Structure 1
Amino acid sequence: MNKKIRISNIIIYFILFLGTIIILFPFFWMFISSFKTMEEIVAFPPTFFPKAPTVQNYINVWKEMNFDRYFLNSIFVLVLKTLVIIYTSVLAGYVFSKLQFRFKNGIFLIVLATMMVPYPVTILSLYQEMVWFQWIDSYKALIITGVFNTFGIFVMKQFITGIPDSLIESARLDGCGEFRILHKIIMPLIKPALSALAIFICLQIWNDFLWPFLVLNSDKKYTIPVGLALFKGRYYTDYAKQLTGAAITIVPVLVIYLFLQKQFVEGITMAGLKE
């Protein structure tokens, strides 16, 4: 019996290891290719490791393509929009889970129904609204249009529902208002959920290309995904700069995950236990 268990464990570990290699290989290829010259990248047969590693691609990206500006723009939009979305998600989740009012379930179903509407379907009307508000080529169009996130509201509602009502009622009897309950009781209890949601939201905002590409016209306001698109011309694509820029964009995501991985795992575990 023990021998069968050991064999099954070896098979499982091998499959997981193989899956990890398959998932990480494109990222590893992108990273080592960022140290190759353009000629070596397009050479056939391809080389795995660079014959003459160089950091010139990184220097060219930062100097020639105004990449440092794109990077700072993305960080600004990422931080501000993530904080706003997380707060509005917690606020809406608390309202739908702990407050009682007429048509609450119906309104929540309408909110969930918006998840079924494909994002591209709403772009035309949303863009027209930005024209009316004169927000084209403005960060307002990037941040304010996404302050309410249906997925975030749903996740927060599920977690806050698990908090005992008696705890909230005790706080109300002590004279706490709803906002004080939200900030002093609810938020400290759902930190793992907040961290898990923050990672998902950060990935979504950091990789968003279509909407910033439509509403931003100034080079100085471009985010990284839009800036990377500039490396591709009509007749020529600079793969060296594209790969280097993509390698740089992964760094903030890795940093965020490394800082929040413990809370992220706890949040996913709590979600599984709640189910």
Structure 2
Amino acid sequence: MRQAMGQSRSPGKSIMLTSGFAVALAVVLIPFYWLVVASTHSTADIFGSPPPLLPGGHLGENLASLQETVSFGQVVLNSLLIAAVYTVCAGLVCTLAGYAFAKYRFKGQNWLFGVLMLGLVIPNQVTLVPLFQLMADWQWLNTYQAVIMPNLALPFGIFLMRQSMAALPDELLDSGRMDGCGEFKVFLRVVLPPMKPALAALAIFLFLFQWNDFIWPLIVLRDSGSYTIPVALASLQGVDDTDYGAILTGTAVAAIPMALVFLALQRHFVSGLLAGAVKE
């Protein structure tokens, strides 16, 4: 049967599929290749004619310019610290909230979950002014907690964990309780181990969300020494003179942690997708 199906596919279809995949891959990779190439050139070379297609020799100069202008090493550490702390704290909040919505029954549960899901359709810009006023009242302006705290209970994260935990059999939790486990112990030893794929997906989403966030850190961070990477790179854009070589170098460096986080967690993420797609 498999042999007959393989023989029924015409060479023309195979060529079309391969060509389509090649075009799609080129569309995805060419911008990243240009980013890497441009980060090794000066601004004059980037806007030259024809534009450079091979790496140049200005990478060190661009990094030195970044360090001198915005203390880029400190900026990277700020972003790593904020994104790491946010991922852990928001992951814990979203996981606990998702577990409560999925496995507990309480009055007003559906109404409360519906209100929470409104956060998925309400633009973040609507809440900027009241959040800023709240941070000012608490005297949290220009602090890391002002960047981290407002988005800990992220609606999408709670929704993701609630949907994942809803598929967990209630009998599994009841067996843990019968063995003498308390509720928190059931959560740690019974609920979390099967949730590794969902937790990996949540961690990737939370890290990228905080790492790429621009508007809120721009509003609450006043001192350049506490800037995150998006805010620091935006500060390099001048009215008359902009060092695009330095900006693109900083952008290329900023993409490295995102790639590393995905590569570190993709095994759990992909295995979760495969486990959900294959029936035993």
Provide the TM-score with structure 2 as the length reference: 0.92
- Pairing partner for 1:195 from 200, 204, 219: 200
The question of 1:139 aligning with 2:144 is answered: yes
Q: Quote the residue 1:82 is aligned against.
A: 87
Deviation string, structure 1 residues 27-50 (Cα, Å, up to 9, x no partner)? 110101111122211212322224
Give the C-alpha shift of residue 271 in structure 1. 5.8
Relative distance call for 1:127 and 1:55 in structure 2 (3 A) is same
Q: Quote the residue 2:168 is aligned against.
A: 163
The question of 1:45 aligning with 2:50 is answered: yes
Structure 1 CA distance for aligned equivalents of residues 56 and 268 of structure 2: 41
In the alignment, structure 1 segments of 5+ residues that lack a partner are none
| Two-structure CA RMSD over aligned residues (Å) | 1.8
Structure 2 CA distance for aligned equivalents of residues 243 and 57 of structure 1: 9
Alignment of 1:34-113 (within 5 A): 34-50=39-55, 52=57, 54-113=59-118
Contact 2:99 2:165 in 1 (8 A): yes
Output the amino acid matched with 1:39: A
Contact 1:89 1:152 in 2 (8 A): yes
- Pairing partner for 1:150 from 146, 150, 155: 155
Structure 2 CA distance for aligned equivalents of residues 5 and 160 of structure 1: 44
Output the amino acid matched with 2:253: I
Give the C-alpha shift of residue 227 in structure 1. 0.5
Instruction: State which drifts further: 70-79 or 134-143.
Output: 134-143
Contact 1:196 1:267 in 2 (8 A): no
Contact 1:208 1:225 in 2 (8 A): yes
In the alignment, structure 2 segments of 5+ residues that lack a partner are none
Output the amino acid matched with 2:46: I
Deviation string, structure 1 residues 89-134 (Cα, Å, up to 9, x no partner)? 1101110111111111111111112211111111111111111111
Q: Quote the residue 1:242 is aligned against.
A: 247
Contact 1:192 1:266 in 2 (8 A): yes
Contact 2:40 2:56 in 1 (8 A): no
Give the C-alpha shift of residue 196 in structure 1. 1.0
Question: Where do 4+ consecutive residues of structure 1 move more than 6 Å?
Answer: none
Q: Quote the residue 1:220 is aligned against.
A: 225
Contact 1:195 1:267 in 2 (8 A): no
